[in-house]
A and B are shown apart, each in its own frame.
Chain A
Amino acid sequence: MKPKHWANKPLSREAGHRVLQHFTRRHFIRESAMGLGALALGSILPGCLGKKEGNPLGMDFDPAHPMLPRAPHFPGRARSVIFIHMAGAPSQLELFSYKPELAKLDGQDCPPSLLEGKKFAFIRGVPKMLGPQAKFSQHGESGLWLSENLPHLSTVVDDMALLNAVTTDQFNHAPAQLLMQTGTPRQGRPSIGAWVTYGLGTENQNLPGFVVLTSGGNNPDAGKSVWGSGFLPSVYQGVQCRSAGDPVLFIKDPQGMDRDLRRASIDAINKINQQEYEEYKDPEILSRIAQYEMAYKMQISVPGVMDIADEPAYIHEMYGTEPGQSSFANNVLLARKLVEKGVRFIQLFDWGWDTHGDSAGNAVDVGLINKCRKVDKPITALLLDLKQRGLLDETLVVWGSEFGRTPMQENREGKQMPFKGRDHHAEAFSIWMAGGGIKGGLTYGETDEIGYSITSGKTEVYDIQATILNRLGFDHEKLTYPSQGREFRLTDLSGKVIHPILA
């Protein structure tokens, strides 16, 4: 089956198409044995699984097919999301936030006014100010400021909206990552990818709707919770794929089992499960049937999609990819392939950005530069590649992290650190977005002359989330799900769409 190519498809038409698909499917499943169960269930459970408050769509929600595409609240501008999270918190002061005044203060004691009543993860006593460890210049027609650490990205600034005044209230990695990805610093809430697939379903029923790829040698500090489904049905949790070895564990049939035989065995399993459903009427059985179908489809589609070897040489050159390796670049290329195949939400985590200055690898003038070299080219390639395929308009790319870094040099335990590093800074950091209905060549939000506090355009983590949902066609206050006796939403009780960056 040739994968659908989504380029240039008018979104309104697509939304109409989805509704149509929905009804056609209903018509189709009425004929099938499985559909009978699902339909019966729909009529039995109006209050639970059908039209309910927590269902954003106000239409039947079919537990046997929870991933079918659904229309959002209003026509969205983005069809899918690639969220690139640099776990560990890169320094905005060496990448995006141009602070010439900070250079003048380099080596001086931090003024007490910045320290009073503040808590830091590691800074103790009076630290020294640390000037920017990279040169900045203006780029593109928009004249956006970017540092020399990102030479490739500098060529595509006119597609990016750079948010320089993002703020969070968590200064440790795991809670801050959870806040960014799930809207709360504690474990147990659905991740943004789970919310989105819950709200929109996914275009390609042969692939997971929400795929997670990690690089940098470690999972994010907060563990798998950052792509969990929390209280949402578990089908919406992110599926972790690997760019080396089996793309998904146990995706291959046992030796000696071919596809036909696997089909026959899943048919037998599901036929008996259907029989069991007739006896027990437990909706969970329908869910199991759906999961076995999904597993079968994943076995067909995942290995192909996850293989980048057949990409042309110029693409490998562009991204800096090496097939068979485990790398951030490979993950970025995979993200593009997944978007092409209709995967709704792709979450990339790259670990190793925690530049405290406790070693050369964690120094803002050594390790950070090395990390930038590994991500600058592939991320730029992603934007260019999506653009040349006509996909950038409907793919929202978000680059960010859990917090930023201090304008002071870290002085762990009050001692001079062996290398130049910065402590965690929750008050102000940078994130950028591109494509998917985001205005390019724009800087939004400002911090003071040393990048410590926000002076304008303050952007909360919830605002980022609200904006992502908005671009997908959701009112973030209405995408809710009932749990523990109340309606929960990703943005909790906050969140404002950042209108100035919308195209």
Chain B
Amino acid sequence: MPLARKPLILLLLVVLVTGMSCLLTRSRKVDFNADIRPIFNKKCISCHGGVKQKGGFSVLFREEALANTESGKPAIIPGKPDESELIRRLTIDDPEERMPYKHDALANEEIKLLRRWIQQGAEWGTHWAYLPVEKQRLPAVEDKWIRNDIDAYILHRLHQEHLNPSAEADKATLLRRASLDLTGLPPSEAIANAFLSDNSPAAYDKLLDQLLASPAYGEKWASLWLDLARYADTRGYEADRGRTIWRYRDWVIKAFNEDKSYDRFLLEQFAGDLLPNAGEAEYIATAFHRNTLTNDEGGTENEEFRTAAVIDRVNTSWSAVLGTSFNCVQCHAHPYDPFRHEDYYKFLAFFNNTRDEDTESEYPLWRHYNSADSQRLEKVVKWVRENESEKRAAELRHFLNTWQPAINSLQCDEYVDAALVSSWHAGLRNNGTCRLPNVPLEGATELLFRYGTMRPGGKWTVTLDSLKGPVVASYILPNSKGQWNLGRLKIPAIPGRHHLYFHYYHPGINNKEETGVLFEWFRFTDPFPGKGKPGYEENLASFIALMEAKVETTPVMVENPPSLFRRSFVFERGNWLVPANEVEPDVPSVLNPLPNGRKDRLGLAEWLIDKKNPLTSRTLVNRVWEQLFGTGLAETLEDLGSQGLPPSHPELLDHLAYTLMNDHQWSLKRFLKTLMSSATYRQSSIVLEEGLRRDPLNRFYARGPRIRLSAEQLRDQALAASGLLSSKMYGPSVMPYQPEGIWLSPYNGDKWVMSEGEDQYRRSLYTYWKRTAPYPSMVTFDAGSREVCLPRRIRTNTPLQALTTLNDSAWVVMARSLAANMSKKGGASVRDQLKWGYEHLMFRKLDKAREEALQILYNEALQRFRREPKAGREILGIKETNGKEQPELAALTVVANALLNLDEWLTKN
């Protein structure tokens, strides 16, 4: 009875197979990160997570998910899927009850996974990026293609994807690729010739060493960091006035050039001021966190914008160094990642005790003395050390360098016939009064203060604790003639903290509206030591001269002394006006703990660079990889958290992070050399059919990178190739040619004044960066406005870019210069000149097809300029002719303009 038996066998088979598969699946443990979190994040968390917790249920943290919901019982009972409300609500028929509410039901597979996961205990898992970086085991793959460890990881994956790596790129391509990657410029003729003529196996290695040693290296890599540091030359907001902070930009360039290890690089920027024996350079480094915006607008609340700057420091720290978008935690627990609302404010507390208060002068500022004054300062400090103490000497040094600690006059309140003028400075009218609250006098016997008045003879009286209180000081203010003056007053030693009341009286002021005096800051201290000793007068004079010296400055971080300590609070829903619980500085518990218990910015910096920090090294590795290959190993540079894309090669990412810290000791140059020595990097970027089909975006690296150059690289490359580039480094930002009408800031008279001489042709990172109106071609090619940290530039391809490189006068000038060189250096024949031009740019021979295209263009242009000499002169930018026309040079200029627009020139192959 074969017919009857068959179904039975089939049935048996089915039972057997399903049984086995059940056994198999049962035995496998569900991976929370891989299987469960994606379901939660996609289907549940928008209503049951950080922002909303509908029904009192959240799947963000385990204890929240297992807690009682509004119904009074938990929705997930570990080990008991059938008793778990979660499963019931996912599977019920009633559309009012079935979750996700008003959305498609979960797939059966998903529900099965959730069941099994609950059955297995509903364990939570840590997201990959928050796990410690560990030494990786190299994949077992052997091939002669492999040059270093990187290639093993890449090849292993390529094999899985049934792809093969590409051949090595030709030397010319490698030369240009490496040079653009390391220096942002085409190689110098000397370097190019040396490499192209050297056929030894070590040639490439030598090339990398030469490029890494070039000062242009620091300029190239600084650009990346300046995006993260939101470095700009203006303050932002409505008026967007200028800011002198270029010394920080120069510090970054130098740090890259001297290959300052990344941990030290971070340490100095986050807490240089708190390092032992911190000097000018360490303070300039801290300007990293003074690139925040300052609001000069009248009527604004300074505390609001101080707080905004502190919040920006938190967000920037996370974006730039930790590759995590922490911003959402400002208002509520992170909707997807294990950060709690109060974690944000604990972190903020690290930054909440600096002296900056959104003042108009952007205090605190480092005062840059010239060398004569620096020597004087050392003498004064020595005097204080010898005549009082080491401690006092350090205090005075700090004061001369920073004018800190001082109390800003914007702390004044209780204004009567007085006001915080323009929300900048306390100003008093005749008979006006105000209060400087809660001043730590602590027995100080001298008051230093900065004030301005146009009126001689005004009397300023300071009383203690009330307007009628004992007089602390009474002083006739000398006329400062509209300038700021420094004043010094003896005051009686009064212990403790007090409110000081100010009264201003001037017999000659009748106008009730006239502000008689403005104050800027106050410092309560003690008199200069050593009175009566020989040399005292001279040193005191030096001290005063230094204090008053007109010097250039840079905004820096200066920590509050204990007497000016600020408490930190959680802000309800991120609103700074609604403080809730007080918090102490700390880091999120899901990450490594503070390494030495130190709860200040220095402790924070040490935490960032602790090898146990899982994010710092991964973030840097990912960024550097993106610079070379066009995409990060985890594509979302800005977010390694669970909302970001998982890395394409997680083991490689961790291998690189581990070796960066442990083998390369955070040396970026060594790290770059390793990356660029890999066969992976050295591949040709020709897209093979198979690669295009299987991996159109090149996420598996079966070919070399092919990416459009950055805004800076494009302009710098063109300047270099046209022979215009200035090699001048450092200094104030410059203003190359820019069309009219770009700068339109209200309440600001600043003008774009075109720089002269070689300053027009400096590398792009020296271009003046105005936040509300950045240099147009930079923006067109995807640079940001630098108002906040830009963790990733998204490359675009638009007609506006074509219009820029075709028509921007700055680019026309470069084409002229390139044409002049083609004519001068290329040889006598047009053909040779075209060849020279192309080869000068691309380091490879001009082929027939290209030559023909250029020749046709040349001929057409030549005909036109012979026909219309005036047009030729215009192309060459020549106003008057001395009888000699140059139609050939004009035609070459048109060709040069085309060369500077070729895709292969705009692209790193």
Q: Which A residues have a C-beta under 8 Å from some C-beta of B?
A: 44-45, 47-49, 119, 124, 208, 217-218, 223, 229, 233-235, 237, 239, 244-246, 248-258, 260-262, 264-265, 267-269, 271-273, 275-276, 279-285, 287-289, 291-292, 294-295, 298-299, 358, 413, 484-486, 493
Contacts and interface: CB of A to CB of B under 8 A. Distances in A.
B800 A257 contact: no
A8 B52 CA distance: 49
A298 B693 contact: no
18 contacts: A47-B696, A237-B796, A244-B741, A249-B780, A249-B800, A249-B803, A250-B800, A252-B807, A256-B872, A260-B864, A271-B849, A281-B692, A284-B797, A288-B903, A298-B799, A298-B803, A484-B636, A484-B645
B519 to A, nearest CB: 23
A235 B812 CA distance: 25
A249 B875 contact: no
Contacts of B687: 280-282
B158 interface: no
A276 B861 contact: no
Interface string B589-630: 000000000000000000000000000000000000000000
Contacts of B872: 256
A269 B796 contact: no
Nearest to A277: B903
B739 A246 contact: yes
Contact of A45 (B696, B780, B803, B849): B696
Contacts of A44: 689, 692-693
Contact of A255 (B301, B708, B739, B874): B874
B809 interface: yes
Contact of B875 (A239, A257, A358): A257
Contacts of B643: 484
B886 interface: no
Given A250-B739, A279-B686, A288-B906, 9 more contacts: A245-B740, A249-B808, A253-B807, A264-B857, A280-B909, A281-B687, A292-B799, A292-B901, A484-B636
B692 A295 contact: no
A282 B686 CA distance: 8
Contacts of B746: 217-218
B797 A288 contact: yes
Contacts of B744: 217
B144 interface: no
B868 to A, nearest CB: 8
A169 to B, nearest CB: 10
Interface string B775-792: 010001000010000000
A281 B706 CA distance: 11
A268 B645 contact: no
Contacts of A281: 686-689, 692
Nearest to A298: B799
B693 A45 contact: yes
Contact of A124 (B577, B693, B807): B577
B774 to A, nearest CB: 11
B898 A265 contact: yes
A119 B577 CA distance: 11
Contacts of B808: 249-250
A268 B103 contact: no
A119 B572 CA distance: 10
A267 B854 CA distance: 10
B316 to A, nearest CB: 15
A239 B800 contact: yes
Contacts of B856: 264, 267-268
Contacts of A250: 739, 800, 803-804, 806-808
B619 to A, nearest CB: 18
A255 B861 CA distance: 13
A298 B798 CA distance: 12
Interface of B: 42, 46, 103, 299, 301, 573, 575, 577, 636, 643-645, 685-689, 692-693, 696, 706, 708, 739-741, 744, 746, 776, 780, 785, 794-804, 806-809, 812, 847, 849-850, 853-854, 856-857, 860-861, 864-865, 870-876, 890, 894-895, 897-898, 901-904, 906-907, 909
Contacts of A237: 796, 798
Contacts of B902: 269, 272-273, 276
A257 B903 contact: no
Nearest to B638: A188
A264 B860 contact: yes
B806 A264 contact: no
A268 B857 contact: yes
A264 B861 contact: yes
A47 B739 CA distance: 44
Contacts of B103: 493
Nearest to B802: A295
B299 to A, nearest CB: 6
Contacts of A258: 864, 871
Nearest to B797: A287
B337 to A, nearest CB: 15
Contacts of B299: 358
A292 B807 contact: no
B853 A268 contact: yes
A251 B803 contact: yes
A277 B808 CA distance: 26
Nearest to B816: A254
Contacts of B897: 254, 265
A166 to B, nearest CB: 21
Contact of B898 (A208, A229, A255, A269): A269
Contact of B806 (A223, A280, A295, A484): A295
A477 B872 CA distance: 56
Contacts of B865: 256
A256 B874 contact: yes
- A-B pairs, top 4 by smallest CB distance, nearest first, are A256-B874, A234-B796, A256-B875, A295-B802
B765 to A, nearest CB: 22
Nearest to A262: B806
Nearest to A273: B903
Contacts of A254: 807, 809, 812, 874-875, 897
A493 B798 contact: no
Contacts of A253: 806-807
Contacts of A294: 799, 802
Contacts of A257: 871, 875, 894
A313 to B, nearest CB: 28
Given A124-B577, A254-B875, A284-B708, A271 B803 contact: no
Nearest to A45: B696
B905 to A, nearest CB: 10
Contacts of A249: 739, 776, 780, 800, 803-804, 808
A265 B799 contact: no
A480 B909 CA distance: 32
A250 to B, nearest CB: 4
Contact of A48 (B696, B870, B875): B696
Given A237-B798, A261-B864, A485 B706 contact: no
B809 A248 contact: no
Contacts of A234: 794-798
Contacts of A279: 686
Nearest to A297: B799
A256 B636 contact: no
A372 B909 CA distance: 54
Contacts of A298: 799, 803
A235 B901 contact: no
Nearest to A257: B875
Nearest to A264: B860
A489 to B, nearest CB: 14
A277 to B, nearest CB: 8
A252 B874 CA distance: 14
A299 B800 CA distance: 10
B778 to A, nearest CB: 12
Contacts of B692: 44-45, 281, 283
A246 B744 CA distance: 15
A235 B806 CA distance: 18
A291 B801 contact: yes
A363 to B, nearest CB: 14
